[in-house]
Amino acid sequence: MTTVTFSEARENLADLLGRVQYGREDVTILKHGKPVAVMISPEAMAHYEALEDAELLKMVQDIYDDPNYDPNDVVSAEEFFAQLRAEDNAE
């Protein structure tokens, strides 16, 4: 993986895009020494999205496989979003 500063990325954008597109190289862009973006090929992005989809599918399947699962259980939108906020705050 190539790492460049924001200024280098701006000055060499065409070259970096070529390296991503044809060289199948990922490029990390730093701003003030910290990573702020990564350039990847569309194929790599599709791969990562497929992995995410498979993970979500497994999570749903795990719910259905739970012997305590009841498809008639109903949760209000307020309860659902409150639970999501609580989980986000716990992280």
The domain that holds 19 is classified in CATH as: 3.40.1620
Helix (H) or strand (E) holding 3: strand 2-5
Average pLDDT taken over every residue of the chain: 94
Same domain, 33 and 60: no
Same domain, 36 and 59: no
The pLDDT value recorded for residue 23 is 85
| Its pTM surpasses 0.85 | no
CA distances to 5, 13, 45, 53, 62 from 28, rounded to whole Å, are 8, 12, 14, 24, 35
Q: Give the span between the Cα atoms of 31 and 41, in whole angstroms.
A: 21
Same domain, 30 and 67: no
> What range does the domain containing 69 cover?
43-90
The pLDDT value recorded for residue 91 is 82
